[in-house]
Amino acid sequence: MATIKAWRSAILHCTANPAEVGTDQAFEYFEDGLLVEKDGIIQALGNAEEQITLLDSTIEVEHHPEALIVPGFVDTHIHYPQSDMIASYGEQLLDWLNNYTFPEESKFADKQYASDVAERFLAELLRNGTTTALVFGTVHKQSVDAFFEAALPLNLRMICGKVMMDRHAPDYLTDTPETAYEDSKELIERWHNHGRLHYAVTPRFAPTSTSEQLAAAGKLLSEYDDLYMHTHLSENRQECSWVQELFPDSKNYLDVYDQHQLLSERSVFAHGIHLCDQEYNRLSETGSAIAFCPTSNLFLGSGLFNLEKAELHKVNVGMGTDVGGGTSFSMFNTLNEAYKVIQMQGQNLDPIKSFYLATLGGAKALRLDGKVGNLAIGSEADFVIIDKHATPLLSKRLERAKDIKDTLFALMILADDRAIQATYAMGQCVHQRDA
């Protein structure tokens, strides 16, 4: 039997890219809205008073007069195995990898350990209102099995992949071009497009893969229509110099990936801080995306992402938390830091634009728009109920908000997981905050 349910509240979502249509044309806001869901799909969205007259009187309506409903957040770059090593002190990227990350990731050879972290990781995402993410595993194929096995019963739209890494890492964490190809293929056959799950071919970054391994990644991508490719790009200056030494025949960092056929509409590159015009152009031409990870970029001292340049070159951009280089699972915190990164470059990040990047923009970067990222009719009913009174300070500040943009901005600066009252996936509650 079909189940229909409705939620009445203030409702906000983006319908287009503010960089293309202007901020005022990019969103819909219903001060007293109604969202109707049937079998996990959004059936109706509009003003409550109008919509309620169209609704069968037997349908249950959940009323949240003091809340704001928004789409589930989309995190375009995060590492689930780094959940427990978040907040590791004192290093920039390359030392941070050697001193903290690699030892932690070695523990994922143990499937039970991986399953335990995967479950807590997903619970943490949902506590923060994130319902879709592009996720790194470790080099161990069982790390990806553990992740997808945990995501499947929650019915979340999630993308993950096994790290490919055959050099410049400890022996206990390396594979080979052949085993990386075979293990990835096995995981693709098992998990790709299984329910709402998808697979991403995941070379860690150019320094930890030989040319042979990057070619194996390209071969996998050529063998399936709709696989993702997920890696890091141009994050740290030392890393960039190292890539130029390791691949002297490449025109630039991105060209290393390009030479191995790793650029496409389903390719997502984390960071992209130190890029030249040629690289922006190539990202744009190929429909590739950048994951902007401000908490990580500041924490690891990597640099300031140039959003204006990315927009100028029409490169798709989504937000990434990059936990554990990033310091928070919260999209509010991530947008807070994004605002400051843009401030440091003498510009302002409009709240509608940053909300777009964390929802529909992320979905577009992952080619999942139409499914997630907004609350358009026909989309999957992944949404979040935000409590405007989560803390005394937030409550007081929102009382004097001028309009929805001001509300949104104050949420981005002041809110965190405490403001996520409930999270829904396909119309089912997957997180409910304690009272």
| Residue 93 contacts ligand GUN per CB under 6 A | yes
- Shorter beta-carbon distance to Zn ion: residue 181 or 205: 205
* Nearest approach, Cβ of residue 212 and Zn ion (Å): 23
Kindly tell me which residue out of 33, 129, 218, 325 binds ligand GUN, with binding defined by CB under 6 A. 325
| Subset of 30-89 contacting ligand GUN (CB under 6 A) | 79
How far is Cα 386 from Cα 421, in angstroms, rounded to an integer? 6
Kindly tell me which residue out of 13, 64, 232, 405 binds ligand GUN, with binding defined by CB under 6 A. 232
* Nearest approach, Cβ of residue 71 and ligand GUN (Å): 26
* Beta strands at 163-164 and 157-161: parallel, antiparallel or unpaired: unpaired
Site string for ligand GUN, 124-163 (x = CB under 6 A): ----------------------------------------
- Shorter beta-carbon distance to Zn ion: residue 19 or 270: 270
* Nearest approach, Cβ of residue 199 and ligand GUN (Å): 19
Contact 131, 175 (CB under 8 A): no
- Shorter beta-carbon distance to ligand GUN: residue 239 or 417: 239
Burial of 204 (0-12, 13-18, 19+ CB in 10 A): buried
**CA distances for 19 relative to 266, 304, 413, angstroms:** 21, 20, 22
Kindly tell me which residue out of 157, 204, 260, 367 binds ligand GUN, with binding defined by CB under 6 A. 204
- Shorter beta-carbon distance to Zn ion: residue 322 or 387: 322
| Residue 235 contacts Zn ion per CB under 5 A | no
How far is Cα 67 from Cα 35, in angstroms, rounded to an integer? 13
207: Cα separation from own chain's centroid: 24
Three-state helix/strand/coil letters over 16-67:
CCHHHHCHHHCEEEEEEEEEEEECCEEEEEEEHHHHHHHCCCCCEEEEEEEE
How far is Cα 129 from Cα 46, in angstroms, rounded to an integer? 22
- Shorter beta-carbon distance to ligand GUN: residue 18 or 362: 362
- Shorter beta-carbon distance to ligand GUN: residue 254 or 381: 254
Nearest to 345 by CA among 295, 307, 291: 307
* Nearest approach, Cβ of residue 47 and ligand GUN (Å): 43
Contacted entry of ligand GUN, Zn ion, none for residue 8, CB cut-off 5 to 8 Å set by kind: none
Q: Mark the segment that binds Zn ion (CB under 5 A) among 138-146, 176-184, 263-271, 389-397.
A: 263-271
* Nearest approach, Cβ of residue 267 and ligand GUN (Å): 16
Single-letter code of the amino acid located at 268: V
- Shorter beta-carbon distance to Zn ion: residue 270 or 394: 270
SS3 content of the chain, % helix, strand, coil (to 5): 45, 25, 30
* Nearest approach, Cβ of residue 78 and ligand GUN (Å): 10
Tokens 């949902």, residue located = 126
* Nearest approach, Cβ of residue 212 and ligand GUN (Å): 19
How far is Cα 52 from Cα 423, in angstroms, rounded to an integer? 23
Contacted entry of Zn ion, ligand GUN, none for residue 199, CB cut-off 5 to 8 Å set by kind: none
- Shorter beta-carbon distance to ligand GUN: residue 206 or 352: 206
| Residue 205 contacts ligand GUN per CB under 6 A | yes
Contact 328, 322 (CB under 8 A): no
DSSP codes joined into one string, 92-123: -HHHHIIIIIHHHHHGGGSHHHHHHHHHHHHH
Single-letter code of the amino acid located at 140: H
Q: Mark the segment that binds Zn ion (CB under 5 A) among 60-68, 151-159, 315-323, 372-380.
A: 315-323
Contacted entry of ligand GUN, Zn ion, none for residue 135, CB cut-off 5 to 8 Å set by kind: none
| Residue 322 contacts Zn ion per CB under 5 A | yes
- Shorter beta-carbon distance to Zn ion: residue 270 or 283: 270
Q: Mark the segment that binds ligand GUN (CB under 6 A) among 7-15, 93-101, 176-184, 246-254.
A: 93-101
47: Cα separation from own chain's centroid: 30
Backbone φ/ψ region at 181: left (φ over 0), alpha (ψ -120 to 50), beta: alpha
* Nearest approach, Cβ of residue 97 and ligand GUN (Å): 6
- Shorter beta-carbon distance to ligand GUN: residue 30 or 299: 299
Nearest to 320 by CA among 295, 344, 299: 295
Contact 103, 310 (CB under 8 A): no
Q: Which residues bind ligand GUN (CB under 6 A)?
A: 79, 93, 97, 101, 204-205, 232, 235, 296, 322, 325
